[in-house]
């Protein structure tokens, strides 16, 4: 019996070694070429979402008479649309991949109870309202540099207003950090194209 099992174990072990070497090579390629790896991941995710959307639509149609049909169909269509979006616009898909993954996982992680759906929509809505109203209305609009606003105006204010040395250094560091985020956000679409 040991003689019969040994070739099967060796054959399975060979495939495990081949798979491990393939993963190591793929990992090195991803580290050396992150833009290519991001594009490959984005396209793979796009095709997976298209396939999952089609399967979910078929399942939702089969469950037509059951409770939660509309929610299942809505999430299936959302999944399909996200997959098509990723395939048609890979540059924009790479730029917003974290948001898309979070939205898909959020939609699939919630049960089909209407209270949960309204809770998520309410959470997103009020988070946007609170961030916009508190951040921009309460803070950013009050700080201006002779009618100019934004992070560059705040940096200019930090360098011109008399502040204590530590407060001046901290304001300048935050201003430079915000300005680098602003410039990085402007460069990002071109870097992925």
List b or e across 99-110, with b for residues whose CB sees 16 or more CB atoms inside 10 angstroms: ebeebbeebeee
Residue range 57-84, pLDDT digits in tens: 998 888 888 787 888 888 888 889 888 9
Q: Left, alpha or beta for 110 (phi > 0: left; psi -120 to 50: alpha)?
A: beta
What number is the average pLDDT over the span 128-147? 65
Residue 50 has a pLDDT of 92
Residue range 146-171, pLDDT digits in tens: 767 677 777 777 777 677 778 778 87
Cα–Cα distance, 95 to 185 (Å, whole number): 10
By percentage, how much of the chain surpasses pLDDT 70?
66
The residue among 86 and 13 whose pLDDT is bigger is 86
Cα–Cα distance, 69 to 33 (Å, whole number): 43
Phi, psi angles (nearest 5°) of residue 115: -65, -40
The residue among 105 and 53 whose pLDDT is bigger is 53
Residue 157 and residue 139 in contact, taking contact as beta carbons nearer than 8 Å: no
Residue 144 has a pLDDT of 64
Residue 51 has a pLDDT of 92
Residue 135 has a pLDDT of 64
Residue 54 has a pLDDT of 92
Question: Mean pLDDT of all residues in the chain?
Answer: 75
Residue 47 has a pLDDT of 92
């Amino acid at each position: 019996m040991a003689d019969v099992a040994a070739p099967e174990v060796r054959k399975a072990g060979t495939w495990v070694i081949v798979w491990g070497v393939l993963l190591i090579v793929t990992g090195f390629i991803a580290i050396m070429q992150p833009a290519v790896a991001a594009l490959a991941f984005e396209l793979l995710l796009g095709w997976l979402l298209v396939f999952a959307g089609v399967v979910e639509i078929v399942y939702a149609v089969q469950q037509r008479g059951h409770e939660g049909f509309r929610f299942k169909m809505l999430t299936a269509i959302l999944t399909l649309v996200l997959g098509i979006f990723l395939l048609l616009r890979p540059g924009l898909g790479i730029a917003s991949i974290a948001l898309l993954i979070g939205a898909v996982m959020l939609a699939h992680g919630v049960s089909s109870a209407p209270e949960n759906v309204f809770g998520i929509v309410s959470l997103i809505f009020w988070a946007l309202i609170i961030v916009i109203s508190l951040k921009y209305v309460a803070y950013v609009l009050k700080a201006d540099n002779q009618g100019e606003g934004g992070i560059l105006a705040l940096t200019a204010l930090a360098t011109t207003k008399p502040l204590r040395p530590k407060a001046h250094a901290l304001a300048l560091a935050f201003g430079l950090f915000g300005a680098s985020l602003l410039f990085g956000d402007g460069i990002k679409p071109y870097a992925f194209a």
